[in-house]
């Protein structure tokens, strides 16, 4: 039975919604969808999560799409507008676990600078026993290597850990490595699912 909780951050503890900003900047839904597919696809932002500097990332896209320079820069300049707030029901689980003395860790795909800003904005992101950040490791979930970094660095066994993430691919890797898992969706009752794994909150 697991005894340690391992959280993802984006769309588990805090909302992450680029569509929120770009619906404002590009009101036409067809044009917005085309922009997000061609100009700023998810794969582009993932490279910042892997550690690529924002200036380099912006320059690469602006060279390809100079007509969209302002929109490209808005992604970083208005990053906080894509993070509306905490997911309160899941943060309550984290805080209850901490109050109960349950070890809580995080493995997150996140750029280093935006994580610092998120930690300044959301105090609950500061109290983990340990956190593995993709940009610092230059590794991205679902690569098994980033999970091995966590296990080795913090002396954990996969079968002692319950891992929670919103990505099915990340959950699949964690399961293959022996973690207990919860695939978090907006409908997930995380408190119920965590207690069902044997934790007392």
pTM metric for this prediction:
0.95
| pLDDT-derived band at 124, boundaries 50, 70, 90 | very high
CA distances from 121 to 86, 115, 118, 135, 174 (A): 10, 10, 5, 19, 29
User: Given the DSSP bridges, would you call strands 180-183 and 4-7 parallel, antiparallel or unpaired?
Assistant: unpaired
Q: What is the pLDDT of residues 136-194, one digit of tens each?
A: 999 999 999 999 999 999 999 999 999 999 999 999 999 999 999 999 999 999 999 99
| Token reading at 198 | 């044997």
Say how far apart CA 195 and CA 140 lie, in whole Å: 29
- Report pLDDT for 1: 87
Q: State pLDDT tens for residues 89-115.
A: 999 999 999 999 999 999 999 999 999
Contact 50, 139 (CB under 8 A): yes
Buried/exposed code over 35-64 (b: 16+ C-beta within 10 A; e: otherwise): bbeebbeeebbebbbbbbebeebbeebbee
């Amino acid at each position: 039975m697991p005894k340690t909780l391992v959280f993802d951050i984006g769309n588990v503890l805090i909302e992450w919604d680029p569509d929120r900003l770009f619906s404002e900047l590009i009101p036409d839904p067809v044009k917005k969808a085309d922009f997000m597919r061609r100009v700023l696809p998810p794969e582009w932002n993932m490279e910042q999560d892997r550690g690529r500097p924002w200036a380099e990332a912006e320059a690469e896209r602006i060279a390809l799409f100079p007509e969209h320079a302002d929109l490209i820069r808005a992604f970083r300049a208005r990053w906080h507008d894509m993070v509306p707030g905490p997911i309160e029901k899941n943060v309550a689980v984290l805080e209850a676990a901490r109050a109960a003395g349950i070890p809580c860790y995080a493995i997150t795909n996140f750029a280093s600078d935006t994580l610092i800003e998120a930690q300044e904005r959301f105090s609950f992101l500061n109290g983990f026993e340990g956190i593995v950040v993709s940009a610092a490791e230059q590794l991205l979930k679902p690569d098994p290597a980033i999970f091995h970094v966590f296990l080795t660095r913090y002396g954990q066994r996969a079968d002692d850990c319950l891992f929670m993430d919103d990505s099915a691919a990340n959950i699949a890797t964690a399961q293959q490595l022996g973690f207990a898992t919860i695939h978090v969706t907006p409908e997930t009752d995380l408190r119920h699912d965590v207690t069902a794994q044997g934790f007392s909150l």
